[in-house]
Each structure stands twice: as C-alpha cells, then as structure tokens.
Structure 1
Amino acid sequence: MMKHNYESKQYPHIAGKSPNEIIDIFRRYNFVDDHGHRLEMCQDFIDLVNAKSQQHQDG
C-alpha cells in the first residue's frame, strides 16, 4: 500500500491574508478547469474568498 508523504506538500497559511493575497496564492497553483479557465478568474471563487475573508474579519 502506498503511503502519503505529507512532507512533500507545504501549504501556505492563508489565515490573516487579504482576499488579493489569497487569490495570488491560488494563482501560483495554476489551477484550471476542463475548459482551461483559471480558478482565480472564476467569480464564484472570488466571492468565496471575499466572503471567508469578511467572515474572518468580523470575528
């Protein structure tokens, strides 16, 4: 059975980051959908980041 190597992935911490900083982190991952559309250009993703950032600020 194959074991997952957790040390091979280092995720940046997004807590306390602005929406633009979070989107920039995901931009560097270069995620695209089946049509080649980049994740950071998806309005649903942008709305999610903004909502979560606002929720975090509101406490």
Structure 2
Amino acid sequence: MSQCLALNTSTVRIMGKIENGIDYGLIMDGCMKDKELVIKGGSIGDENAVVKMICHN
C-alpha cells in the first residue's frame, strides 16, 4: 500500500506471474501511468529472482 501512495496510484493491473510470489503488472493511474511494475514478497524467490525480474519481457 505504501508503494502505491509513493507512486500516487490507486490501481495496478496484475498482468502475470514471473514465479510464485513474484507478479508483474501495469500502473493504471497517477504520475507513473502505463509503466510496468514488478511486485515481490520480501523473502520470496531463489538467488536468481531479481535477475528474472529484470530480464522478464
């Protein structure tokens, strides 16, 4: 929630899953409208999780 407040957005459309606990989506409003976003839980994923997030297309 605090991330949405910092981005001045109220809606993120979840578009899919990179792996369990790591989703990606599209910011639907605010100053970052139409930008892609990756959402990851704190201790979720293996040692390559961040690489998968960056390289995902």
Greater fraction of residues in helix: 1
* TM-score, reference length from structure 2: 0.27
* TM-score, reference length from structure 1: 0.27
